[in-house]
Copies of this chain bind each other. A is one copy, B any other.
Amino acid sequence: MSLVNIDVTLRDGGYRNGFGFDLDYARAHARLSLAAGFDWVEIAYRKGSFKPVPKLGLTGRGDDDYIEAIAGEVGAEHVGLILHPRNIDDTDLPAMYRAGARLVRVCVAAGDPQPAFDAVRRAREIGFTTCVNLTRVTQLPARKVVDLAVAAAEAGAEVVYLADSNGSMLPEQTARLTTLVKSVANVEVGLHAHNNLGLAMSNAMSAVDAGATWMDSSVLGMGKGPGNLVAEQWIAYLERTKLVTGYDLGTVLHLADLLGRSVPESAPSLPLPDLVLGHFDLSVELRGDIVEHDDHRLAVHTAKSLAAG
């Protein structure tokens, strides 16, 4: 089989440190990430994440000079960015390409997907490899997933990513959604997992078993809340099972060590409120309603009520 691995540390990990990686670290990270065997390094959001973040750092802006610096380090053919279509204007995609990005991932808002598909169409014309990310995919009816996947493929998306934004996906559900998307659209399927319930590895295996061929992970799992699929665990699994070859565990561990020493916010953690959010498939925007309870029994009760609507 073939499998495309994206290292999303610099981007999703940015939720932990205000996207405040410095350029020297980002350069070193990208270089080691490629040496470890990753196909793409997702280096930033272009012009911000879903919600505005104050004092947005380097990897929350994705400016042209930053793209140029990383492309100079590892080659444009390994540099990707993600974006929300509402944050960009007509000048962004051409500027990103000129600066040296070759992968763009466009987040799809299920309620208003057309701007995302327009961005995908434009990106393909320019020459990008293009993915769409179906965010909060666990909250979408299957019929909606079908419609979005078909429309994304028609717009020119080469990969449809299932983004388990709430960290609530179960392996059986991952397999079902992967099969569903592959059945209706001529696209590859990717998984962006979050580890709220300790299921990121299980979901990754389940997705690949069902035919997914693109996978996100981050070093030390550094990502929003309890983080993403842990890159070093995933690479270890690929090495052990020989599912795919060409990855180097020693180098990814060397990178994990560097990240741990350089960025204190990368320390692994499993916050209990995020487990509750994942369990009830609630968005991180509701975290405040959960953490206000000192007693986690009340937190679970509140989450249950919120999930019931």
Contact = CB atoms under 8 A, between A and B. Distances in A.
Interface residues of A, number: 42
Interface of A: 170-171, 197-202, 205, 220-221, 230, 232-233, 236-237, 239-241, 248-251, 253-254, 256-257, 268-270, 272, 275-276, 278-279, 295-301
Contacts of A202: 201-202, 205
Contacts of A296: 250, 253-254, 256-257
Given A220-B270, A237-B197, A272-B232, A251 B205 contact: no
Contacts of A275: 232-233, 236, 253
Contacts of A248: 297
Nearest to A221: B270
A253 B170 contact: no
18 contacts: A170-B241, A171-B205, A197-B233, A197-B240, A199-B233, A236-B275, A236-B279, A239-B279, A249-B276, A249-B300, A250-B296, A251-B297, A253-B276, A253-B296, A253-B297, A256-B296, A257-B272, A268-B269
Nearest to A269: B268
Q: What is the oligomeric copy number?
A: 2
A205 B230 CA distance: 19
Contacts of A300: 249-250, 253
Nearest to A267: B269
A272 to B, nearest CB: 5
A271 to B, nearest CB: 10
Nearest to A237: B197
Nearest to A239: B279
Nearest to A297: B250
Contacts of A232: 272, 275
Given A202-B202, A250-B299, A268-B270, 10 more contacts: A171-B205, A198-B201, A198-B233, A236-B275, A240-B279, A250-B298, A253-B275, A253-B296, A254-B295, A254-B297
A264 B230 CA distance: 24
A248 B304 CA distance: 13
A237 B236 CA distance: 24
Nearest to A279: B236
A254 to B, nearest CB: 5
Nearest to A294: B257
Nearest to A253: B296
Nearest to A229: B198
Contacts of A279: 236, 239-240, 249
